[in-house]
């Protein structure tokens, strides 16, 4: 089994509500604490250098393997992770699996 990476992106405009401080200091640690027992190994966030229409934030979640991704997303903690999203933004996240080339 090999590691699995999921990218969580948020799309919007420079006017879209997105509280970076809350996201980095509160939401991402919540995600790590909730999903670490299920195989989440690391989490990182990235933001565009210049505000513009499109991507406003990206999180990279690295899991032990594909089974860990499924376990985390279907875990009892998953609803709590999702319920926290309105605390920092009004947009819905989009999940994408990284595919090695």
CATH of the domain at 9: 3.30.70.100
**37, two tokens:** 């027992």
Q: How far apart are CA 89 and CA 69, in angstroms?
A: 24
Q: How far apart are CA 14 and CA 39, in angstroms?
A: 34
In the chain, how many domains are there? Answer: 1
Q: Which domain holds residue 70?
A: 4-97
Q: pLDDT tens across 38-79, in order?
A: 999 999 999 999 989 999 999 999 999 999 999 999 999 999
Are the CB atoms for 59 and 96 separated by under 8 Å? no
Q: How far apart are CA 73 and CA 88, in angstroms?
A: 20
pLDDT(93) > 90: yes
10 alpha-carbon distance from chain centroid: 9
pTM listed for this prediction: 0.92
Q: How far apart are CA 43 and CA 61, in angstroms?
A: 5
Nearest to 61 by CA among 3, 21, 18: 3
């Amino acid at each position: 089994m090999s590691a699995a990476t999921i990218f969580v992106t948020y799309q919007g405009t420079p006017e879209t509500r997105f509280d970076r401080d809350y996201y980095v200091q509160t939401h991402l640690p919540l995600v790590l604490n909730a999903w670490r027992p299920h195989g989440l190994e690391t989490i990182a966030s990235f933001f565009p250098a210049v505000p513009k229409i499109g991507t406003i934030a990206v999180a990279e979640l690295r899991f032990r393997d594909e089974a860990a991704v499924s376990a985390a997303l279907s875990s009892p903690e998953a609803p709590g992770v999702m319920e926290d999203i309105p605390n920092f933004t009004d947009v819905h996240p989009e999940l994408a699996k990284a595919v090695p080339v």
